[in-house]
Amino acid sequence: MTKPLRKAVLPVAGLGTRFLPATKAMPKEMLPVVDRPLIQYAIDEAREAGIEEFCLITGRGKDSLIDYFDVAFELDVTLRERNKVEALKALEPSSIEAGSLIAVRQQEPLGLGHAIWCARSFIGDDPFAILLPDDVVKSGTSCLKQLADAYYATGGSVVAVEEVPREHTSRYGILKPGHDDGRMVEITGLVEKPKPEEAPSNLSIIGRYILTPEVMPHLAKLEKGAGGEVQLTDAMAKIIGHVPFHGLRYEGHRFDCGNKSGFLEAQIAFALDRPELADDVRAFLKKYN
């Protein structure tokens, strides 16, 4: 019987050096796309997939991420006294039920695999999702909900994939594909950041995963891979053949908000989706053509 998917891990310990000096005093995951921080987009996406428990993998200087999801009592009282109904409604998504959010420190930057291993007590023997908040996916049905549906259909691990230019394979975890029906592709192998001439395909993993707990004993070995870091891709590769493992070509558009151009593009795309902003945004964009 397929276990229900209720847990999500969000690695947020990075320093955000690409966005200095803005990230000198605030986590990059708190940078807003229009009026919601990146971390909120990830949490909202997870909730749509049925996630109820969240684990933030944090580092020093990241306490504001935890504070963001706390109850701001003084603010709440002030808004109620002033009858700011719309402002109160805007705050609702930033509240997480007591006991449903924990934070774990990744004390050393030893890679994504190490970050997930830090959540081992939270994960236990349950399936879990991973969301990297740098990747913001604009879609009708949330990307993680699409993955969750695939998880329940296959009973195994599923990752979101997209095609990238062959010359960019050295930036991603790349699939060795098996049976492919055009949307769901069987994964027969995984390679972390291969050179273009050595890549088994151009299907890359983006920052959305649903994994079964079989991956955890392999992460526990803390074996270093590409870049001298503990790579999640390497541990996932070791469970291929033991549990069903697929890549899903998700429906939607991914914005890589880990770099400035992707972050700025996301601002425009999401602003154009807002009726109260769309006309003004189109008008000022014409000034810079």
pLDDT tens string 216-274: 999 999 888 878 888 898 999 999 989 899 999 999 999 999 999 999 999 999 999 99
Quote the tokens at residue 152.
């329940």
Residue keyed to tokens 């991603």:
172
Give the CA radius of gyration of the chain. 19
Asked whether 37 and 31 are in contact (CB, 8 A), the reply is: yes
191: left (phi over 0), alpha (psi -120 to 50) or beta: beta
pLDDT averaged over every residue in the chain: 91
For 7-286, the fitting CATH number among 2.60.120.10, 3.30.2350.10, 3.90.550.10, 3.40.718.10 is: 3.90.550.10
Confidence of residue 276 (pLDDT cuts 50, 70, 90): very high
Q: Where are the domains of the chain?
A: 7-286
Looking at residue 184, its pLDDT comes to: 94
Dihedral sign of CA atoms 238, 240, 245, 247 in order: positive
Vertex 263: Cα angle to 104 and 151 (nearest 5): 55
Which pTM was predicted? 0.92
- Which residues on adjacent β-strands are paired with residue 54? 8, 101
pLDDT tens digits along 202-215:
999 999 999 999 99
Tens of pLDDT, residues 74-126: 888 898 989 888 888 888 888 888 888 999 999 888 899 999 999 999 999 99
Token reading at 269: 């795309």
